[in-house]
């Protein structure tokens, strides 16, 4: 289990405060993050593995501060972006999925075996030689998840993982997330995705407005949106 301690975080982009003092400790296995457009959810998600650093305050992951140990934290906390096209960097599926292993200096057979395992876990083994840009939207999202998981992070942050997908692929990704062994933190507008989660945070104008079990938190969110 991963514990992430966010303490009094302000994030400013030039003069705009996207986060206005957020404090929360995340230690549950499945945490959802919802809120209106521009409320700071993506900024919060990116803080959790040091993709964004706080202007004030701190983010500490299992005792490591994101401002000082970003690289070690990104091995522990993976990130899946909303649009898999932003995450796919190599032309061929098997090369792309292996990207996270670069720099780890693994022997070739060990690397190959990790690639085999992760491709088969996400049902992508028959596509391994295929150009990544020819995959369907759902397959690309699975490839992005496979690429984030190949280094076996303890926690994975998803930023709107089902937004670009059709119903069938959205359901497949939802099931994939539900079945993951890792700690997952999911930013989404798809409230049904969070039904069986442990905890839901509702963001509003750069602050956490509600922090509760899914049914209570989502009811407050829906009420507020009316």
Confirm if 23 and 54 have CB atoms less than 8 A apart: no
Nearer of residues 190 and 198 to ligand ATP, judged by Cβ:
190
> In the bound complex, what is the minimum distance in angstroms from residue 194's beta carbon to ligand ATP?
15
> In the bound complex, what is the minimum distance in angstroms from residue 11's beta carbon to ligand ATP?
8
Residue 210 touching ligand ATP (CB under 6 A): no
Q: What's the CA gap between 203 and 19, in Å, rounded? A: 10
Q: What's the CA gap between 79 and 145, in Å, rounded? A: 8
Q: What is the DSSP string of the chain?
A: ---EEEEEEEEEETTEEEEEEEEEEE-SSEEEEEESTTSSHHHHHHHTTTSS--SEEEEEETTEETTT-HHHHHHHEEEE-SSGGGT--SSBHHHHHTGGGTTS---HHHHHHHHHHHHHHTT-GGGTTSBGGGS-HHHHHHHHHHHHHTT--SEEEEESTTTTS-HHHHHHHHHHHHT-SSEEEEE-S-GGGGTT-SEEEEEETTEEEEEE-HHHHHHHHHHHH-
Residue 183 touching ligand ATP (CB under 6 A): no
> In the bound complex, what is the minimum distance in angstroms from residue 189's beta carbon to ligand ATP?
7
Nearer of residues 35 and 214 to ligand ATP, judged by Cβ:
35
Nearer of residues 16 and 179 to ligand ATP, judged by Cβ:
16
Nearer of residues 40 and 84 to ligand ATP, judged by Cβ:
40
Nearer of residues 86 and 129 to ligand ATP, judged by Cβ:
86
> In the bound complex, what is the minimum distance in angstroms from residue 158's beta carbon to ligand ATP?
12
Interface map 9-48 toward ligand ATP (x if CB under 6 A): ----x--x-x----------------x-xxxxxxx-----
- Span 185-204, contacts to ligand ATP by CB under 6 A: none
Residue 162 touching ligand ATP (CB under 6 A): no
Nearer of residues 154 and 191 to ligand ATP, judged by Cβ:
191
- Sign of the CA dihedral with 148 first, then 154, 160, and 163 last: positive
Nearer of residues 68 and 189 to ligand ATP, judged by Cβ:
189
> In the bound complex, what is the minimum distance in angstroms from residue 67's beta carbon to ligand ATP?
17
Residue 91 touching ligand ATP (CB under 6 A): no
Contact residues toward ligand ATP (CB under 6 A) are 13, 16, 18, 35, 37-43
């Amino acid at each position: 289990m991963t514990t992430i301690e966010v303490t009094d975080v302000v994030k400013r982009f030039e003069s705009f405060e996207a986060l206005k003092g957020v404090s929360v400790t995340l230690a549950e296995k499945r945490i959802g993050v919802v809120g209106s457009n521009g409320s700071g959810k993506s900024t919060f998600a990116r803080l959790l593995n040091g993709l964004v650093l706080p202007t004030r305050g701190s983010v500490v992951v299992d005792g490591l501060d994101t401002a000082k140990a970003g690289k070690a934290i990104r091995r522990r906390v993976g990130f899946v972006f909303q649009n898999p096209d932003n995450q796919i960097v190599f032309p061929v599926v098997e090369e792309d999925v292996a990207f996270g292993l670069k720099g780890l200096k693994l022997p070739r057979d060990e690397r190959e075996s990790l690639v085999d395992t992760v491709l088969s876990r996400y049902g992508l083994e028959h596509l391994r030689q295929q150009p990544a840009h020819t995959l369907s939207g759902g397959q690309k999202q699975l490839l992005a998840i496979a690429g984030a998981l190949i280094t076996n992070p303890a926690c994975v942050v998803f930023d709107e993982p089902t937004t670009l997908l059709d119903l069938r692929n959205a359901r497949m990704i939802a099931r994939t997330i539900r079945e993951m062994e890792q700690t997952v933190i999911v930013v989404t507008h798809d409230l049904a995705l969070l039904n069986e989660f442990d905890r839901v945070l509702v963001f509003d104008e750069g602050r956490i407005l509600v922090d509760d079990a899914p049914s209570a938190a989502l009811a407050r969110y829906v009420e507020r949106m009316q």
